[in-house]
A and B are shown apart, each in its own frame.
Chain A
Amino acid sequence: MREKRLIKVRDLSIGFGKGPALIRDINFDVNCGETLALVGESGSGKTQTCRAILRILPKAARIHSGTAILSSPTGGCDLLSLSERELGDIRGDRISMIFQEPMHSLSPMHKIGAQVSEVLCLHRGHSKRSAKQEVLQSFARVGFPDPERVYRSYPFEISGGMRQRAMIAMAIIAKPDLLIADEPTTALDVTTQAQVLGLIKDLQQETGMAVILVTHDLGVVANAADKVVVMRKGRIMESGSVAEVIDDPAHGYTRQLIAAAPVIPHEANPSCARTIEDPILQLQNVSKSFDLRGGGFMSKGGLVKAVRGVNFTIGRGKTFAIVGESGSGKSTVAQIALGARAPDTGGIIRFWPENGATPLEVQTLEPEEKRRFQRQAQMVFQDPFSSLSPRMQVIDTLTEPLEIHNIGIRRERQDRAVELLEQVGLSPSMLRRFPHAFSGGQRQRLSIARALALRPSLLVCDEPTSALDLSVQAQVLELLEDIRDRMALSYLFISHDLAVVARIADEVAVMRRGQIVEQAAPDVLFTAPKHPYTKALIAACLEPSVCQKIDLDAVATGAGNPQSWPEEYRFKDMIAPELVETDPGHFVRVAL
């Protein structure tokens, strides 16, 4: 059977403003029922390329040349030369699109049902009432347990993953020939990502639509695509079938991308259980509840337990990682560890400034002592784009902590800034620059340098690499490992990415809904996970290899309701089993 070509893009060039074309000579075909992945790092032009097909580009963008022929039974038409009105008939009907940010892709002011049925009203001449049945069916199809309720809800009433499902329902309701998905799962948790990808695949098999999947994640490509186009700086580097490109990349850049993707180790390399003799930080029985503001005025809100009874100890010079999805309470734990938030009464945070010293109890420190403690415990933030002041030169950013803590004179502080830049692999000539002159990776180096300014002994890293491209992520992780060993730092490392953690951590705790469900050394945890939730997280982690296909069932079980877990892990009366040491150094929440 000869495959039917659906869309043919030739010689596409896009520029911005009056400048030259930044995206040039883009050629690719998509056949019916096929998935094409556009892969590249940020700035590669993959998003603009896919948006150009529907001509939903930023205002400044200009399509310089090219054609995008969409075949139809009556012959083809060039999407790039259609009038806005003709294009309006194709958008949402024959070609639909899903965007990256599920949080903001739906209008906050309109009910979800109304927004989805609008597609049918526009293209099928339905009224809202006659469209409703079909909309409810599509809601059921994308896995909403209660379509009626979603139909009546506003977007802010449902979670990010649910919103992305609603977006998918909107995109597929008119049974389009082509679905363009721009990073559809990037903003989602790994388990949700697995489910959403599985859903798109199912729908594709059912309706035979083609998909253009834009992503930076090679794991997603390997699991979801048939063909792949690798882009870099507006050019196509390599294209071909997934099996060819991923397993046997011809272009150096593709090889580089694949090498940079962190993977979970497969071989067991069991290390003996360690007892921590020289701890630096210990959290004991730490809980944190937040008051919810009630609905409406004068009604009482509930209490949310963000963190429940967390215990762990970090050894000096070690890296302790907390892994969890959004809402698991991992960031709250980081804030408590730094003394930025007080735990509920009963929680104890001990900090040993040096080996054998009497520990400080962080939760009871006076403001003056707390300042001294904070000199020794610093934080690296997730988003290097917003955690550096755009109005401060690098030198001011780096010397500010020294000024605040009254360390040294002006001259010494400047010397220290130079030293810091060298430590994080930046050139001292950059001292007078502003943050906007730096790339994402360089900015994260800057924020690491800032955290090092006070010569701390403990760094809390809250998702330090999740805003970065893969190749940059690898470099930053390398830097973190390097300075840890060089300066005998200890890390509390917060991440949602198991593969990142597998690389850097000495011990890993998996958090779910405020509780640690499993804790072990990474090689033990990743090769012999016990808890169903950990198994789901590992299964949901996509790898850039064609032979490692995702196991959706494991993901759905582990990430779902605890009642679907094996007997011994289940909750009894809403209370999880105790954390017990099943093997030396391996703790699991299980009833024995």
Chain B
Amino acid sequence: MPIIRFAVFRFLSMLGTLVVVSALVFFIMNLPPGDYLSNLISELRATGQESGIAKVEFLRHEYALDQPLWKQYLIWMGFYPGPHGFSGIVQGDFGWSFEFDKPVAEIVGDALWMTVLVNVAAILFVYMVALPLGVLAAAKSKTWVDYTSAFVGYLGLATPNFLLALILFYYGHKYFNLPIGGLMAPEYEGEPMSMGKVNSILLHLIIPTFVIGTSGAAAMMQRLRANLLDELSKPYVDTARAKGVPPVRAILKYPLRVAFNPFVADIGNLLPSLISGSVLVSVVLGLQTIGPALLTALKSQDQFLAGFILLFVAALTLIGTMVSDVLLMLLDPRIRYGGRDR
């Protein structure tokens, strides 16, 4: 099966890319002078708390921060034995957050899944909105349907997300009694999953999804409209009509299939922009995603925490690209059989 071979190949190349990305992330994070612990030491020195220094020095050694940078990287990734043998990302040890004084895994644990949840919801929202609106706008191009959807779309593109969030919170709460802030009601936090918790999460998801997804949906809609308009003037659409295919089906069955390609290919592009966009939104909306943690970690040079989160985002993006590549292959026979023997 060529498709499986392709998927495996894509997966392997993704792993390779991920390693390169991890190196980039690590070295870029270490570009500014100093690290969290050396900052702490100088701070302790300045305030005369010499006693704390010994502990920090111990931590420095414990996390191999006294090693050269390339070694630090290898130890972090788990490619090279650190003070406690092989113990890095590859082995499932994500490191220690100095800022929160907790293992990284503990800090990001739930937040990771919440991030995935919010972003998957946002992507679904983008597709569910963009698909019908884009098709409608193309089919009825240059009518009021088209102009209205374009107007709403541009509005969505142009409004800053956090502003949209605040407006929606206010009116959502006022008219629909939607909850404000957070991803679940406070009483469910730390509780095991239950129907009530799922319900609460879903209810809390509505506004964040809308806020994060709007601009993506607007852009996607315009792109789909443009692609579909191009396809609508192709001869094969005339062929379908000349066969007697009813007008609506003639659009949905033929040109949409072709116009769908860029739509699918964009999953990979959509993810990183959604995630980076959602960082700010998460802070404003008080969502327990990794966004706020990332912001704190970057500010205080908490390198293991920041590094892990960045790596995670990169992994999500790569997975998105891979999914869209494999989908494209399934969807488009020209890609699938591009080189099949004639």
Residues of A at the B interface (CB closer than 8 Å) are 54, 56, 84-85, 88-93, 96-97, 99-101, 104-111, 118-119, 122-123, 154, 156-158, 167, 170, 293-299, 301
CA distance A299 to B342 in the complex (A): 15
B241 lies within 8 A of chain A by Cβ: yes
B61 lies within 8 A of chain A by Cβ: no
**Lowest 10 CB-CB distances: which A-B pairs, in order?**
A295-B339, A92-B244, A91-B244, A92-B243, A97-B242, A109-B257, A105-B235, A104-B235, A107-B236, A154-B333
B239's partner among A158, A167, A299 (CB-CB below 8 A) is A167
Contact partners of A297 in chain B: CB under 8 A:
5-6, 9
| Cβ of A163 to closest chain B Cβ, rounded Å | 11
**Given A107-B254, A109-B258, A154-B337, CB of A90 within 8 Å of CB of B244:** yes
CA distance A123 to B258 in the complex (A): 25
| Cβ of A64 to closest chain B Cβ, rounded Å | 21
Contact A89 B339 (CB under 8 A): no
| Cβ of A304 to closest chain B Cβ, rounded Å | 12
Which of B2, B5, B339 gathers the greatest number of chain A CB atoms within 10 Å?
B339
CA distance A85 to B241 in the complex (A): 11
Residues of B at the A interface (CB closer than 8 Å) are 2, 5-6, 9, 234-236, 238-247, 254, 257-258, 331-334, 337-342
Contact A84 B247 (CB under 8 A): yes
Contact partners of B9 in chain A: CB under 8 A:
297-298
Contact B339 A296 (CB under 8 A): yes
Chain A, Cβ-Cβ closest to B242: A97
| Cβ of B13 to closest chain A Cβ, rounded Å | 10
| Cβ of B341 to closest chain A Cβ, rounded Å | 7
In the assembled complex, 20 residue pairs joining A and B whose CB atoms fall closer than 8 Å, in A order, are A54-B241, A54-B242, A56-B241, A84-B247, A85-B246, A91-B242, A91-B243, A93-B244, A99-B242, A104-B234, A107-B254, A107-B258, A108-B236, A109-B258, A119-B243, A170-B243, A294-B339, A295-B340, A297-B6, A299-B339
Contact partners of A154 in chain B: CB under 8 A:
333-334, 337
| Cβ of A161 to closest chain B Cβ, rounded Å | 14
**Given A154-B334, A157-B340, A295-B341, CB of A122 within 8 Å of CB of B238:** no
CA distance A122 to B244 in the complex (A): 7
Contact A293 B339 (CB under 8 A): yes
B243's partner among A85, A96, A301 (CB-CB below 8 A) is A96
**How many Cβ-Cβ contacts under 8 Å join chain A to chain B?**
99
| Cβ of B98 to closest chain A Cβ, rounded Å | 44
Contact B337 A105 (CB under 8 A): no
Contact A88 B239 (CB under 8 A): no
Contact partners of A90 in chain B: CB under 8 A:
244
CA distance A310 to B255 in the complex (A): 44
| Cβ of B262 to closest chain A Cβ, rounded Å | 14
CA distance A156 to B332 in the complex (A): 12
| Cβ of B6 to closest chain A Cβ, rounded Å | 7
CA distance A534 to B236 in the complex (A): 35
Chain A, Cβ-Cβ closest to B260: A109
| Cβ of B35 to closest chain A Cβ, rounded Å | 42
| Cβ of B238 to closest chain A Cβ, rounded Å | 5
Chain A, Cβ-Cβ closest to B247: A84
Contact A296 B258 (CB under 8 A): no
Contact A99 B235 (CB under 8 A): yes
Contact partners of A158 in chain B: CB under 8 A:
342
Contact partners of A122 in chain B: CB under 8 A:
243-245
Chain B, Cβ-Cβ closest to A293: B339
| Cβ of A178 to closest chain B Cβ, rounded Å | 12
Which of B235, B242, B258 gathers the greatest number of chain A CB atoms within 10 Å?
B242
Chain B, Cβ-Cβ closest to A155: B236
Contact partners of B239 in chain A: CB under 8 A:
97, 99, 105-107, 167, 170
Contact partners of B5 in chain A: CB under 8 A:
296-297
CA distance A108 to B333 in the complex (A): 8
Chain A, Cβ-Cβ closest to B141: A59
CA distance A110 to B234 in the complex (A): 15
| Cβ of A83 to closest chain B Cβ, rounded Å | 12
Contact B242 A56 (CB under 8 A): yes
Chain A, Cβ-Cβ closest to B254: A107
CA distance A110 to B6 in the complex (A): 22
| Cβ of A214 to closest chain B Cβ, rounded Å | 14
Contact A96 B242 (CB under 8 A): yes
Chain A, Cβ-Cβ closest to B333: A154
A110's partner among B241, B242, B246, B254 (CB-CB below 8 A) is B254
Contact partners of A167 in chain B: CB under 8 A:
239
| Cβ of B337 to closest chain A Cβ, rounded Å | 7
Extra A-B contacts (9), CB below 8 Å, given A105-B238, A107-B239, A154-B333: A90-B244, A92-B243, A108-B334, A109-B332, A110-B254, A154-B334, A157-B337, A158-B342, A295-B339
Chain B, Cβ-Cβ closest to A295: B339
| Cβ of B252 to closest chain A Cβ, rounded Å | 12
Which of B6, B236, B241 gathers the greatest number of chain A CB atoms within 10 Å?
B236
Contact A107 B242 (CB under 8 A): no
Contact A92 B242 (CB under 8 A): yes
| Cβ of B234 to closest chain A Cβ, rounded Å | 6
Contact partners of B247 in chain A: CB under 8 A:
84
Contact partners of A170 in chain B: CB under 8 A:
239, 243
CA distance A123 to B242 in the complex (A): 12
Contact partners of A88 in chain B: CB under 8 A:
244-246
Contact partners of A93 in chain B: CB under 8 A:
244
Contact B244 A119 (CB under 8 A): yes
Contact partners of B341 in chain A: CB under 8 A:
295
CA distance A335 to B2 in the complex (A): 37
Chain A, Cβ-Cβ closest to B340: A295
Contact partners of A100 in chain B: CB under 8 A:
235
Contact partners of A89 in chain B: CB under 8 A:
244
CA distance A89 to B244 in the complex (A): 6
CA distance A85 to B240 in the complex (A): 14
Contact partners of A301 in chain B: CB under 8 A:
339
Contact B245 A118 (CB under 8 A): yes
| Cβ of A428 to closest chain B Cβ, rounded Å | 38
| Cβ of A110 to closest chain B Cβ, rounded Å | 7
**Given A157-B342, A293-B339, A297-B6, CB of A107 within 8 Å of CB of B240:** yes
CA distance A92 to B246 in the complex (A): 12
CA distance A88 to B245 in the complex (A): 7
CA distance A293 to B341 in the complex (A): 11
A104's partner among B6, B236, B240, B337 (CB-CB below 8 A) is B236
Contact partners of A108 in chain B: CB under 8 A:
236, 258, 333-334
Contact partners of A118 in chain B: CB under 8 A:
243, 245
A106's partner among B236, B257, B333, B334 (CB-CB below 8 A) is B236
| Cβ of B213 to closest chain A Cβ, rounded Å | 28
Contact partners of A84 in chain B: CB under 8 A:
247
CA distance A90 to B245 in the complex (A): 11
Contact B238 A56 (CB under 8 A): yes
Contact partners of A91 in chain B: CB under 8 A:
241-244
A296's partner among B2, B245, B254, B333 (CB-CB below 8 A) is B2
| Cβ of A290 to closest chain B Cβ, rounded Å | 14
| Cβ of A503 to closest chain B Cβ, rounded Å | 33
A101's partner among B235, B244, B337 (CB-CB below 8 A) is B235
Contact A110 B339 (CB under 8 A): no
| Cβ of A507 to closest chain B Cβ, rounded Å | 35
**Given A91-B244, A101-B235, CB of A107 within 8 Å of CB of B6:** no
**Given A108-B258, A296-B6, CB of A156 within 8 Å of CB of B334:** yes
Contact partners of B235 in chain A: CB under 8 A:
99-101, 104-105
Contact partners of A56 in chain B: CB under 8 A:
238, 241-242
Contact B339 A99 (CB under 8 A): no
Contact partners of B241 in chain A: CB under 8 A:
54, 56, 91
Contact B243 A99 (CB under 8 A): no
Contact partners of B254 in chain A: CB under 8 A:
107, 109-110
CA distance A154 to B333 in the complex (A): 8
Contact partners of A54 in chain B: CB under 8 A:
241-242
CA distance A56 to B258 in the complex (A): 21
Contact partners of B244 in chain A: CB under 8 A:
88-93, 119, 122-123
Chain B, Cβ-Cβ closest to A87: B244
CA distance A90 to B244 in the complex (A): 7
